[in-house]
Chain A
Amino acid sequence: MIVTLHYTDEKLISAIRDPLELNQAIQWLYRQYAGTVSSFIIHYGGSAQDAQDVFQETVVAFIELVKAGRFRKEASVKTLLVSIARNVWFNDIRRKERSGERDKRYQHAQGQQDLDVSETMVDLELKRQLSQLLDQMGDPCRKILLMFYYENLSMKEMTAHLPYENEQVVRNKKYKCLQYLTSLIKDHPAMATQIKELIK
């Protein structure tokens, strides 16, 4: 589908909060800002593929930030996206241990105007690890949990899309999958620490 809409920052925020408009909002973000962010990543030594991956992460982080009501209107969407992208990229290269090169680039980039997105970065890293746990579970469980908790499908709708006899089977399966995921989280040291922090 070709995006023909034009969003102001305000309309974009409202579209992101509406599940029916989210897809169009994402395409708008790509059309409007992918080029700017990609240029930045390539300027700081990334490849075209790096730029694509970083922009995807950036959009995810931005949407979660908006949905959590943490988007402060004093910065424009573009400024925020570039700040997130910059942090995602430097976290990436830090992970990939290109330390010497990274430090030099990072110090240079720090001189530029940047928003404090550290909270978003911590959140993003935690969720990235959670996603990896979900991926470990295999396709059937991943699919069932996504259908129920992300797509908000009813048991009836899920049964129509899954190879299970009836809604009760799907319900039981979903329960077991969620139990399995929580057990993976409990066994993950970083996650366990995170939970302890949360209940303090």
Chain B
Amino acid sequence: MSEPREQILIDYLDRVLRPAERAEVEEKISTDPEWAAQWQTLKLAISGVRHSGLRDQVASAGKAWESQREKRSASVRLISRYTLRVAACVVLLAGSTLIYKFSTMSGTGMYEAYYNTYQLPTSRSASGPGSALDRAYQSSDWGAVIRLASTTGTKDSKTLFLEGIACMELKQYAQAVSRFKQVLAQNARTKDGYFNDESEYYLALSWLAENHNAEALVLLKKIKEDPDHRYHHHVIEMWGLNWKILNLKNRK
């Protein structure tokens, strides 16, 4: 073994010696203090190298973990920020809509949204004493309808009702209310249901037109709760947020 001691020990450490040479080195380490000291120094050096390698690996894995955590936190923050923004927009929009609806909602507005001219059915416009009135009505000659009705001696429910509709068309809502009320009073007396449902519905709309919302709401609620009422489905369609707001405003 002519090579310097350290080179031999490094070769021994690196496992490049033949078995016989290895045995020789092991013998030296166990018997010669200088060889033993040199061997311990080498082992210490290698343990230091391995420790450094492990520190590097742990530091690198730690950095990767930190970076993942940062990314996750950032994406959670980003998602939260966007979600909050969207939620804020939705709340703002819904709030604005509600405020706008609340401030602009009125009986008149509701009336304008839901009023449709009554269509006189053919069976109810048959020839006879009322046929001039029917023809005037069907030709939307509202002035003629009112004139013909006023010249009629005893007004039946149909005449009063058509006169009421003509008043509504001419925006004479107080008169319309009066005519529909007359129909209902007359029917109550005679126990007749002729043009009763129609008069209730259009009376409610006339009240809305006049912003007499409390009266309108009572009547509309009655129609809503009566599935046999001719205008039940109309009122169901109308019922919703608008009515809730109107009701709320009315309570104030």
**Which residues on A are within 8 Å of B, measured CB to CB?**
1-2, 22-23, 26-27, 30-31, 34, 52, 55-56, 59-60, 63-64, 126-128, 130-131, 133-135, 142, 145-146, 149-151, 175, 178-179, 181-182, 185-186, 191, 194-196, 198-199
Contacts and interface: CB of A to CB of B under 8 A. Distances in A.
Contacts of B36: 199
B33 A199 contact: yes
* B-side interface size class: 20 to 34
A175 B48 contact: no
7 contacts: A27-B64, A52-B62, A55-B62, A59-B58, A130-B44, A145-B49, A179-B6
Given A31-B65, A146-B52, A178 B45 contact: yes
Contacts of A133: 48
B51 interface: yes
Contact of B54 (A2, A60, A194, A196): A60
Contacts of B55: 56, 60, 131
Q: Is the interface of B mostly helix, strand, loop or mixed?
A: helix
B48 A181 contact: yes
Given A30-B62, A175-B7, 11 more contacts: A2-B68, A23-B57, A23-B61, A26-B57, A52-B62, A59-B62, A60-B54, A60-B55, A130-B49, A131-B48, A146-B53
A130 B68 contact: no
B145 to A, nearest CB: 80
B37 A199 contact: yes
Q: Is the interface of A mostly helix, strand, loop or mixed?
A: helix
B58 A130 contact: no
A86 B81 CA distance: 38
B48 A134 contact: yes
Nearest 10 CB-CB pairs, A to B? Answer: A130-B48, A150-B53, A127-B51, A26-B61, A30-B65, A131-B52, A149-B49, A199-B36, A198-B40, A181-B45
A151 B41 CA distance: 21
A191 B44 contact: yes
